[in-house]
Amino acid sequence: MSDEFVEVDARGLEPPQPMVRILEALTVLPTGAILRARTDRRPLHLYPLIEERGWVAESQPEADGSFVTFIRHA
Amino acid sequence: MPPGPASGLAPSVGLPLRFVATGFAAWLVGVVLLVVRPDMLATYHYNQYVVAATHLWVLGFLSSVVMGAMYQLVPVALEVRLHSERLAKWQFVFHLAGWVGMVAMFWRWDLKQVGHFGSAFAVGVGLFVYNLGRTLRRVPRWNVVAAGVASALAWLSLTVVVGLIVVTGKCTYDSVERLTTANPLRGMLAALAALATWVNQFDPLGVMHAHAHLGVVGFFVMMIVAVSYKLLPMFLLSEVQSERRAAWSVRLLNAGLAGVFLALAWRRTWQPVAALVLIAGLGLYFAEVRAILRARRRRVIDWGLRHHLTAQGLLGLVAVLGLVLGWPGLRVTMFTAQLETVYGWLGIAGVVSFTVLGFLYKIVPFLVWYHSYSRAVGRARVPTLADLYSERLQVAGYWSYLAGLLAAAAGAAAGYARWRGRGR
């Protein structure tokens, strides 16, 4: 697994903008890199779209109530 | 919550949208009916046409939309998978057949058939409550939203049971004597006849008002309060400011409504005490919403949220009117009788409908966008949410609906007798 992370901060955006930002970032993500996306909520609607495109995602809650989601190739 | 593998929790968008589309169709029929028969609002509300129109609005429009939205919102808001999408699709069949038949039979005042269609509707509600109940059991962390939704489901169940009991009391059971003792229907009809005898000891108006409060306050207002604690922070980029205050608002609403129900059905003079408990719950809810608003990071309040906030203002007004109308010793006149109609009108077409419309402005564009465009993101140019609706039409809809609502309330308060020159 690569240690290279690409950050996307989608906090403060109204749905579906966080989803759009993250999916667009995935299209240009370098091979082997991991997308680290920050969102205000757990991105429930994003998960099926990510899985459909052959990625896996794992979300972790942060102390401030926001979420960090790590997305990598399946 | 521990981090876990991601998965899609929300049901397919076709499920909520079929309920919402049905709701809109019923709403359209309801509005046309009001235009054709405005006199319904200018008469005392205990008649077949008002009862039919009320069930069209409440079951056809509001409950269709709210139930569809719940299938979408509960899994997303509580981060849990819906127990069964298949059961939800079956509920839709019973729901649609049930409310359409009930409204038509209320209009004809064929209460035996209302009972039959009402039973079909009740099967649908049973599936809805069971499905969401099983879903709630999976909630990893119980919170005020889950408690409010669970309360609303309990009140909905009681509303339907009381409604069916009311109808039972208005049917006759002469055919019992013609059935042989071996016929299993005889036992069922005899039990219904005994239930009818029991319920007919109550004042029919009181029981009807108790049933209405269970449905409107218990199901709709409770559901609005519960989901507000999730949706308002989500839309405004804010947080619930006091979990304790929010939890107490739900507890007081439950306690107050239980008291109001008992006092209305048994005609007790302590009804204002129960109403005050209920109003205290609403007061805590308003205080929490104000705190959420003050802590928001998104400054703009869009027209969807303005609908919601306007409805809350109306809710305060309606609650005070309800307290006054339930005051012991209030002299009943034609005017106070018409104010009861105004109370119901502002509660159903105002508070609940305005809130539902506001939330729909937030939910439907997202669902449509998600259904139609989300798979193309990053692969093709997709429209934004704002491209899917017209804000100018939202503004026009807000003001015209509010003006129509208040004008109809004023007309209902004036009463039919004065309009036709027959009364004072």
pLDDT of B391-416, one tens digit each?
Answer: 999 999 999 999 999 999 999 998 75
Q: Which of B272, B271, B276, B278 is nearest to B254 (CA)?
A: B278
CA distance B153 to B138: 16
Write down the pLDDT at residue B1: 36
> Cβ of B366 and A48 within 8 Å?
no
Q: Which residue of A has its CA nearest to B385?
A: A16
- Contact status, residue B228 vs residue B287, Cβ threshold 8 Å: no
Write down the pLDDT at residue B2: 35
> Cβ of A59 and B375 within 8 Å?
no
Q: Is A52 on the interface with B (CB under 8 A)?
A: yes
User: H/E/C letters for each residue in chain B?
Assistant: CCCEECCCCCCCCHHHHHHHHHHHHHHHHHHHHHHHCHHHHHCCCCCHHHHHHHHHHHHHHHHHHHHHHHHHHHHHHHCCCCCCHHHHHHHHHHHHHHHHHHHHHHHHCCHHHHHHHHHHHHHHHHHHHHHHHHHHHCCCCCCHHHHHHHHHHHHHHHHHHHHHHHHHHCCCCHHHHHCCCCCHHHHHHHHHHHHHHHHCCCCHHHHHHHHHHHHHHHHHHHHHHHHHHHHHHHHHCCCCCCHHHHHHHHHHHHHHHHHHHHHHHCCCCCHHHHHHHHHHHHHHHHHHHHHHHHCCCCCCCCHHHHHHHHHHHHHHHHHHHHHHHCCCCCCCCHHHHHHHHHHHHHHHHHHHHHHHHHHHHHHHHHHHHHHHHHHHECCECCCCHHHHCCHHHHHHHHHHHHHHHHHHHHHHHHCHHHHCCCCC
Which chain B residues contact residue A60 at CB under 8 A? 3
Q: Which two tokens stand for residue B162?
A: 């009381």
Amino acid found at A35: L
Q: Where are the domains of chain B?
A: 13-141
Which chain B residues contact residue A13 at CB under 8 A? none
> Cβ of A16 and B366 within 8 Å?
yes
Which chain A residues contact residue B383 at CB under 8 A? none
> Cβ of A23 and B239 within 8 Å?
no
Q: What is the pLDDT of residues A2-38, one digit of tens each?
A: 568 999 999 988 888 999 999 999 999 998 899 999 9
State the nearest Cα–Cα gap between A12 and chain B, in angstroms: 7
Q: Is A33 on the interface with B (CB under 8 A)?
A: no
Write down the pLDDT at residue B414: 87
Number of A:B CB contacts under 8 A?
A: 69
A66 phi and psi angles, rounded to 5 deg: -85, 180
Task: Name residues whose C-beta falls within 8 Å of residue B108's C-beta, 6 or more positions apart in sequence.
Answer: B48
Cis link prior to A48 (omega < 30° from 0)? no
- Contact status, residue A58 vs residue A46, Cβ threshold 8 Å: no
Residues of chain B with pLDDT under 70: 1-10, 416-424
Write down the pLDDT at residue B42: 86
Write down the pLDDT at residue B200: 94
Tell me the C-alpha to C-alpha distance, in Å, between residue B275 and each of B205, B220, B257, B279, B289: 18, 17, 7, 6, 21
CA distance B274 to B213: 13
CA distance B52 to B250: 31
Q: Is A16 on the interface with B (CB under 8 A)?
A: yes
Write down the pLDDT at residue B3: 37
- Contact status, residue B346 vs residue B317, Cβ threshold 8 Å: yes
Which CATH superfamily, name and number, covers A5-73?
Answer: TusA-like domain (3.30.110.40)
Which chain B residues contact residue A57 at CB under 8 A? 6
> Cβ of B6 and A50 within 8 Å?
yes
CA distance B138 to B13: 21
Write down the pLDDT at residue B318: 97
Q: Is A12 on the interface with B (CB under 8 A)?
A: yes
Which chain B residues contact residue A36 at CB under 8 A? none
Q: What is the pLDDT of residues B179-228, one digit of tens each?
A: 888 888 898 999 999 999 999 999 999 999 999 999 999 999 999 999 99
State the nearest Cα–Cα gap between B362 and chain A, in angstroms: 10
Q: Which of A26, A67, A30 is nearest to B377 (CA)?
A: A26
Q: Which residue of B has its CA nearest to A63?
A: B1
Q: Is B239 on the interface with A (CB under 8 A)?
A: yes
Q: How many residues does chain B have?
A: 424
Which chain B residues contact residue A68 at CB under 8 A? none
Which chain A residues contact residue B79 at CB under 8 A? 42, 44
Strand-pairing partners, residue A67, are A39, A61
Helix or strand run (H / E) with residue A6: strand A5-9
Gyration radius of chain A over CA positions: 11
Q: Which of A19, A47, A57 has the CB atom closest to B377's CB atom? A: A19
CA distance A39 to A57: 13
B234, B374, B382: which to substitute to probe chain A, counting the most A Cβ within 10 Å?
B374
Amino acid found at B337: A
